[in-house]
Amino acid sequence: MTDDFDAMYETFQALVETFPPSEAVKRLEILGVEQDVVERIRERHEQQMIRIKELEEPHAVVMGNRDTWYTGPQVKDKCWPAIVKLLRKDGWPEEPAIRDLDDSSTRVVSLLNHPKERAFSTRGLVVGYVQSGKTTNFTSVMAKAADRGYKLFIVLAGIHNGLRRQTQARLVQQLVEPNPSMWSQLTGLEKDFTPQENPASYFGKSNKTHVLCVVKKNATVLRKLARWLDKASDYLKDCPALIIDDEADQATVATKSINPLILSIMSSLPRSAYVGYTASPFANLLIDPSAEDLYPRDFIVNLPKPRGHFGTEVLFGRYALDGENEDDVDDGHDMIRSVPVDDIPCVRPETKADVDGFEPVITETLRKAIEYFWLVTAARRVRGSGNPHSTMLIHTSVNTSVHNSFKRPLEHLRETTAKSLAEKTVLRRLRTLWDEETARVRAEDFCETKVPFDSLLAELPGVLRNCRVIMDNSSSEDRLDYENGPVVAIAVGGNTLSRGLTLEGLAVSYFVRAVSAYDTLLQMGRWFGFRNGYADLPRIWMTDELAEWFRHLATVETEMRRDIDIYMTEAETPLTFAVRLRTHPALRVTAAAKMRSAVTASSSYGGRGVQTHYFHTNAEWLRGNIVASQELVAAAAANAVRVEDRSQEGRFIFRDVPYDVVTNFLASYKFHEKSPENDPDLISAYIQKRVSAADSLRRWNVAIIGNPEGEPFTFAPSVTVGRVTRSRLAVTNPDPDFADIKSLLGPRDAAVDLSGITTKVNERALKDARSAQLPDTGLLLLYPIDKTSAPGPGKNLRAPLNAQEHVIGVGLVFPEPRHGDSTVEKYISADLSGVRIEDEDLSSLLEGEDS
């Protein structure tokens, strides 16, 4: 009976591919299907629809929250089951890996148009993580779309031949080879697109095969494709096409050649869906939505973060967002090693004039990074598990002559090390390095077992013998080739290694490349991805400044994804909301040309918290802030309606203080210049506007947050609390006048002036309680931070604060506005004002024939 029902349900699914669900039900009734069976079919379909809409991951923003025609794979499918079979053979577990891939790819396909619609032109964006399996996801999307009737598949595979070949090989392996009779290919492994003689042989009604075309984003190649498709227009009206734009932020946005050519290709296809895939979607989110361009107007999807993935936050940590407790935000793994600023001129020319004749020096940190790479490779051979390849990345410059200059000194280091392995001083140095690194990152924390130094000694000579030094750049013929046996390589390169291309078995990175934008920085991080069998061993050498930039970028990413998730729950669409992107004082969000249509986002302090986490540590700067805080407390005590002495808890609250006491304090307290969100002029201007426009924020509560067990700090007579401890993030070569404590206040502190709040209050409950109890009152918090502030046990990524004076931390909590709001300029977003809704120099690579 169950088999009969399943067969009937399959009939219903087949009908849904052609008719709306309601019409499909009527046709079942016409066929004489019993009413109770029809009801069961209707119920199962509705449950399936709910499951797709409410998938916990990935979250999506959908145009019009439209119902989908695609409810998942069917028994008769050919392409998707073939992928599942290959993944199982490669060791993918059914749960959660294959199930998560099935769910997320189904979600994307469900947002496409039905292939039998008369005409459509869809634009969507899928946001993944660097080196997280985006290719596998879009291959799965292509397979499911093919199983449902999409015919032409065009994959725009970056701007380099290496990535195009890699993508072509993957798609052939997973789509074409399992079902060769179902596919025709317009491109090959070594052959980018060249026009074919007879378009009818591919798109005519007699040809039932799917057509695969994998091309670079190169003007010459795309121009050929656009012209050929234009000539084939007579056959394309019945050809549903899916265009996958891999690395969709690269070359696609705001380019004079590539962007118009992609649009031209789409104009030749009456039924086309364009889906961009990227881990750095900043440029795509800033396209002018009102223009005839590739803004993702129909949907934006966040792919789930795969389990075991090493991403920005995992490696570098991030800063707490509004409503988050610092203890819930990880500092990241202890895998980042500091490159002193003094080393930079030794490994990278300081000016263009220094490029000619540049000779790199193997500095102590570079030598240590290389030696650690050899030790890691030997240890992985002892373990005998995971990826058979082992790679080190050295990335100091974009200039190919600089890359090539590393060849001789690196080869010399390898040869001399191989000859001196038996020397006691060398063995002692290597043993010390191994023991120090394995003590800082314990193998047991990653379900691995430490390899003793003596065990890897036997492998070291073979590692050094096998290790190749490869210059992988646009001017070299040498390339990383992982197809012909295990590779041990030190890869020196630039742009060819900076996007899309996977460095197999990447264990060590030495990265001091100068960058200026979020997307460039993120894509340079080839160390992101999966480290099965050696998750305890990866290390990255970089400057402290770059590490801080990556930590900021992890915060930007998290906030961006949270924006997408929040707006989905509020039933917004990509044409009614614009994802906000937090700015940075030293970095652009993306290239200037890609931000021409961006506007300063209407991001407000309303409902938000502001806190200090950067500080100078010199006595003069700190004493000025101590004086400013003491003056604030004196003024608050003199003007407060009520004072709550909760010194037994280490706290004081001065209630209903006039707002000018707060703005006077903001004028005298010094925020660190690296904290653009803590701009006292903007904060004061916001308070003034709220006071004048809505008669809000006229009164403030000022709270002192201390530690009852700390050493005493006096703000004013009878106002003394114990000092709190806030250690700094540890760096190898700290700036003596800079400290980053990462987070100052938590949700409990932000609720200090509210009643009935538990210690584990969430962000929404806290905002609701403030709106109910103190809808027009701001909260200012003062923290007396002990100048030593030694980290607690187990805080390996922390170091003592070691300031010259005690530090005053400041937090401000703003209620959500009730009568409109005034904005601050801290974010940028796409400009939606023109939308009308009814009821690095890449020019040579993009224009040239080859790259």
pLDDT tens per residue across span 79-134: 999 999 999 998 888 888 899 999 999 989 998 999 988 899 999 999 988 878 88
Average pLDDT over residues 210-218: 96
pLDDT at 2: 57
pLDDT at 706: 96
Q: Which of 752, 754, 779, 772 is nearest to 697 (CA)?
A: 779
- Other beta carbons less than 10 A from residue 25's beta carbon: 20
pLDDT at 384: 92
- Confidence class of residue 57 from pLDDT cuts 50, 70 and 90? very low
Tell whether the model's pLDDT for residue 792 goes beyond 80.
yes
* pLDDT tens, residue by residue, 580-617: 888 776 778 888 888 888 776 545 677 778 899 899 99
CA distance 207 to 146: 14
Q: Which of 639, 631, 667 is nearest to 655 (CA)?
A: 639
Structure tokens at 334: 């202890």
- List helix spans (H) across 215-319: 219-231, 233-236, 258-267, 312-316
3-state secondary structure of 342: helix
Q: Where are the beta strands (DSSP E) in 563-612?
A: 581-582, 598-600, 609-611
pLDDT at 232: 87
* pLDDT tens, residue by residue, 59-86: 555 544 456 788 889 989 999 999 999 9
pLDDT at 633: 97
pLDDT at 847: 60
Q: Which residue has the higher pLDDT, 807 or 501?
A: 807
Alpha-carbon dihedral sign for residues 457, 463, 465, 468: negative
pLDDT at 835: 63
Element (H, E) at 796: none
CA distance 134 to 120: 25
pLDDT at 474: 67
Average pLDDT over residues 730-739: 82
Mean pLDDT of the chain: 86
CA distance 558 to 667: 32
Tell whether the model's pLDDT for residue 18 goes beyond 90.
no
Tell whether the model's pLDDT for residue 462 goes beyond 90.
yes
* pLDDT tens, residue by residue, 627-640: 999 999 999 999 99
- Other beta carbons less than 10 A from residue 457's beta carbon: 16
Tell whether the model's pLDDT for residue 850 goes beyond 50.
no
Average pLDDT over residues 386-397: 90
Average pLDDT over residues 318-327: 73
Q: What is the DSSP string of 573-585?
A: -TTT----EE--S
What percent of the chain has pLDDT above 90? 48
CA distance 270 to 119: 5
- Confidence class of residue 176 from pLDDT cuts 50, 70 and 90? very high
Average pLDDT over residues 393-419: 92
Average pLDDT over residues 389-398: 91
Structure tokens at 306: 């795969």
Q: Which residue has the higher pLDDT, 831 or 465?
A: 465
CA-based end-to-end distance of the chain = 60
Does residue 96 have a cis peptide bond before it, meaning omega lies within 30 degrees of 0?
Answer: yes
Q: What are phi and psi of 122, to 5 degrees?
A: -90, 145
- Confidence class of residue 821 from pLDDT cuts 50, 70 and 90? low
* pLDDT tens, residue by residue, 19-36: 777 788 888 888 888 888
Tell whether the model's pLDDT for residue 56 goes beyond 90.
no
pLDDT at 325: 66
CA distance 550 to 403: 24
Q: What is the DSSP string of 481-521?
A: --SSS--EEEEEESGGGSSS---TTEEEEEE-----BHHHH
Contacts of 559 (CB under 8 A, 6+ apart): 321, 580, 582
pLDDT at 58: 46
CA distance 325 to 746: 5
Residue the block writes with tokens 């904005």? 823
The residue count of the chain comes to: 851
Average pLDDT over residues 520-545: 86
Structure tokens at 194: 């060249």
Say if CB 269 and CB 241 are below 8 A apart.
Answer: yes
Q: Which of 675, 376, 347, 403 is nearest to 543 (CA)?
A: 347
Say if CB 325 and CB 544 are below 8 A apart.
Answer: no
Residue 62: beta bridge partners?
299
CA distance 376 to 460: 10
CA distance 683 to 825: 10
Average pLDDT over residues 704-722: 95
